[in-house]
Structure 1
């Protein structure tokens, strides 16, 4: 009997593994309840990376506070608890030093959990915030194929690690015709739309090493050939979440004429509130953005819709 693996990848502001795993476990239980099919076997996989960035960011914040003018800056908590954690997580991951540590941990933990996967098994991706970018970067970005990585003391094994990761998934090089197939994608509060800018502005001949589009398109083409239908992708966005962006209208920019390969739907998780007025909306990211950005994990709507999609995947 086939097994449904559900991979949870967290976003910014996650520094304790136990807290993330407990949160993901609760969502996993709600998804199983939503599927409501005792004949199906489910296994959760939780990928935690948040502690790798903690020390560098703490050093940066201490540097801010050491400035004689720090007390003159407005929104200090928002700067250190929201902006630094989001931009800091992004900048640190894109550096090869921290990025390589994330890749190694992914290889050790996620590949270990998928070690017994069979060809008929299914993999469902549930990613939050910057975690979406991290996962897609590991799976699709050409920067991990650069031979110069072999020359660095801290990165000499990274190309092999990335190849090992990609070889486990159907549709990716170096073993595109074998491995477990991704059955559905669920992004929550994701800034992945912003990466269409790399695709739009990249060199049309040489491309960009951070461009996710070519390998993502190749994966979707092989999955479409395998399943004879587009892969379902639900993009959940809270209207008060400043990190969340729609994907439906951006996908043509990423896939360039092959958007029929994916069944993508933007899902708004909240109808808004009294703050929905032009002037007050300017303050929503400061007053409420953090709560909105973390709301997906406990949303019954999100778990229900993920369960509905999983139940419909053959």
Structure 2
């Protein structure tokens, strides 16, 4: 029986390795005739020591007690920006990548069978990490920390250029689900000045590799902010093997009170130069339930929705940004998409 691998990548501030249990259990129970394999990647522990050290240094400042918003600074801003900054760093980013590669290898995904499939579910900064690992050029320097690990991950996925350079091997991505994603903002790191005529791109530029993932780049050279090359190649590579021809489903879940979540459909269509024949990306609004849902609905009907007051919802334990993992709308949509993706034995696999 074919295996449906489900790779979960959490975002910032997550300190619970069991964050995806409910979602995966409901998915597996909904389709008992399918063989699901859970890969809940957890990287929150890697950042705890440096962030705890920094917090201790801040608290030791003679001015700390005079500063406002201690809880927000310590429990929201520091973990959020700290996790993001640490991943971008070479050292911590490499540690996270090595851990991801090991977990993927332990799951058996690197030796997936021809009809196995991969479903990716990312939250918040986890979406940025996914794009970075699969497509960013900063990992292509052979002397870069974790270079080999990144290449092994890329080689294992159909349509992505890695060290092997044979993108027609590896497991196929069957669906992508992004929750509370800030990718729209992160894409600004690829913007190049109009006066920059060197053609050089940022090491965080994911354009070339993303184009390769979606399809062959048939439009010539692109600017450094255009992520089209590798994404086009990925999508087109998937289509060349698909029977019947179908689009890659990508659902982007947005809670209206989540300040980190942004629409992706229009941006991604522009970034892949209109390759909509290969990509079915949908933005979908989610809602809370119970008393919180009632409160959010009340706020949405008033001018308060466009003020800073609703940001106080982020202080709640089940805040909008973290609500996706337990949101019925999100879970049911993921289940629907995954169940409708019937395995087809038409891909190759490689050993790493």
Pair in the same fold by TM > 0.5: yes
Once residues 278 and 69 of structure 1 are traced to their aligned partners in structure 2, the CA distance between those partners, rounded to angstroms, is 37
Q: 2:265 pairs with 244, 248, 251, which one?
A: 248
Query: How many angstroms does 1:46 deviate by?
Result: 1.0
Between 248-257 and 279-288, report the one with greater CA deviation: 279-288
Structure 2 stretches lacking a partner, 5+ long: 211-230, 288-292, 343-352
Partner residue, 1:120:
115
1:9 is matched with which residue?
Answer: 9
User: Is the CA contact (8 Å cut-off) linking 1:199 and 1:253 kept in structure 2?
Assistant: no
* TM-score for both structures, normalised by structure 1: 0.89
- Provide the C-alpha distance between the structure 1 equivalents of 2:74 and 2:274, rounded to a whole number of angstroms: 41
Cα deviation, residue 72, structure 1: 2.7
C-alpha deviations, 1:116-146, integer Å up to 9, x for none?
A: 4212111000111111111221111110002
Instruction: Give the C-alpha shift of residue 115 in structure 1.
Output: 4.0
Match of 2:134 in 1: 139
Partner of 1:172: 160
Number of aligned residues: 301
Whether 1:223 aligns to 2:238 is yes
Task: Kindly state the Cα deviation for residue 111 of structure 1 after the two structures are TM-superposed.
Answer: 2.2
Shift in alpha-carbon separation, 1:139–1:263, aligned structure 2, 3 A: same
CA distance in structure 1 between the aligned counterparts of 2:66 and 2:320, rounded to whole angstroms: 28
Distance change >3 Å, CA 83–CA 131, structure 1 → 2: same
- 1:275 equivalent in alignment to 2:299: yes
Deviating beyond 6 angstroms after TM superposition, the runs of 4 or more aligned structure 1 residues are: none
1:128–1:189 contact (8 Å) kept in structure 2: yes
Secondary structure of the structure 2 residue equivalent to 1:7: strand
Q: Is the 8 A contact 1:10 1:20 kept in 2?
A: no
Q: 1:293 aligned to 2:321?
A: yes
2-structure distance, mates of 1:93, 1:253: 27
Give me the whole-angstrom Cα distance separating, in 2, the residues matched to 1:284 and 1:13. 20
CA displacement at 1:215 relative to structure 2: 1.7
Superposed displacement of residue 108, structure 1: 0.8
What is the TM-score of this pair, normalised by structure 2?
A: 0.80
Alignment of 1:69-88 (within 5 A): 69-88=63-82
Once the two structures are TM-superposed, the CA of residue 198 in structure 1 deviates from its matched residue by: 2.7
Residue 289 of structure 1 deviates from its aligned partner by 5.9
Cα RMSD of the aligned pairs, angstroms, is: 2.0
Give the match's secondary structure for 2:20. helix
Query: For residue 111 of structure 1, what is the aligned residue in structure 2?
Result: 105
SS at match of 1:274: helix
Q: For 1:91 and 1:253, locate their aligned partners in 2 and report how far apart those are by CA, in whole Å.
A: 27
Q: Tell me, yes or no, if structure 1 residue 163 matches structure 2 residue 158.
A: no
Structure 1 unaligned segments of length 5 or more: list them. 150-154
| Structure holding more helix per residue | 1
Residue 279 of structure 1, CA deviation: 4.5
